[in-house]
Amino acid sequence: MISLDFNLNVLTRDLSLYLENQVKVGLFGSGVLSLVLGFSAAYAYYYLISVAKKPQLISGGKKFYQFLRDQCPVVSETYYPTFWCWESRIQTVLRPFVTAKPGVSYRNELIRAADGGQISLDWFDNDDSASHPNSATRPTVLLLPGLTGTSRESYILHMVQQSRELGYRCAVFNNRGVSGETLLTPRTYCAANTEDLEAVIEHIQRANEDAPLMAAGVSMGGMMLANYLGKKGRETCLKGVVVFSAGWDVFACTASLEKPLDRFLFNSYLTSCLQAGVDRHKSVLEKSYDIDHVMKAKTIREFDERFTSIMFGYPTNDDYYHDASPIHKLKSVQVPMLCLNAADDVFSPCHAIPVEAVKQNPNLALLITCHGGHIGFLEGLWPRRSTYMDRVFKQFAKAVIEQGGDLNDLSS
């Protein structure tokens, strides 16, 4: 391997002189070719030095740390973001468009909630599983999409595909009112309230008592999972959890998304998606909430002030944001949980990633990449297939299901 340990200043100086001389040759013929080659060499050098890096693995206990190193090689490998779109916002924006959507056929089930509402659960049964042909013992992976996501999001479909290859069954938990089902009661969802998630987990466990169950959550789905584990402690049947691009401190997340560029690119769009969901169920919701006021919200924070915090009975929106922030509950997590975040994620800014909290709990591990954006993690020349996030999911899911005995009593 060629050593990259040489003086950057010398290289920069020599490269500048080289390019200056090439420009003098002319803008046609070999001069242009040399100029292109020179810039390409400079870009490749910058990419290898500043962009492609190994992720940082942090854990509160040596046992979990070593388990991940042994069973999940991806945590120790250099992450090479797609060289032409490694910037955070570009990764975030392009992911839904450039990644393929694997074909998945779901079996839908509607679960009646305690308040009379209904929850949509999409099953991928994987009855053709060669490694786990017995449906009664076939491992199950529960998947939670992001803020306005459903079972049809590309990142969910990719995790279903990875689970299919492992021979596992999947169940996708769609939040109330987002996947086409009728909203029966004037209630939707939020990151802090885990009642629907608890009902879904209990339902899955009753239906498949002899099958191991683990879960994966993306963005708000990851926040909800982390909050659930913080509330339940050891009182859960989940064998392990992995969360991707979770927002750990909602105050920091919303502040980041309110910066001008990120408000333009992401905040306004997500706010309109939330409002579209409200408008879709207006006939049920308008009896309890001022829908006209909600529809005038310009940001996620304004939407939460006018709708979410009121729906779930919080005195103020700040009270809701504090309760929704998983960082306050991490000390109570008693199930192995791996968290993947990118340091450049504008949805979950680097300074709010809970490094110190993770170090205090042996059941937690945090994997931080320098790049990847929000649910991006694109890699390869043309990232149509699996991403770095998909590889983390597949290796961790397999490790939890097949080597989960090694995760017993991580505090020892």
Catalytic residue numbers, as ranges: 219, 345, 374
Task: Identify the three-state secondary structure at position 183.
Answer: coil
Q: Greatest CA span in the chain, whole angstroms?
A: 77
Q: In whole angstroms, what is the distance from residue 120 CA to residue 118 CA? A: 7
C-beta of residue 399 within 8 angstroms of C-beta of residue 390: no
Rg (CA), the chain: 23
109 touches 121 (CB < 8 A) = yes
Show the CA angle centred on residue 403, arms to residues 397 and 406, nearest 5°. 120
Concatenated DSSP letters for 154-178? HHHHHHHHHHHHHT-EEEEEEPTTS
Helix (H, G, I), strand (E, B) or coil at 105: coil
Structure tokens at 360: 């205090």
Question: Tokens 């680097």 map to which residue?
Answer: 350
CA quadruple 383, 103, 347, 177: dihedral, nearest 10: 170
Q: What's the rounded Cα separation, in Å, for the pair 125 and 170?
A: 6
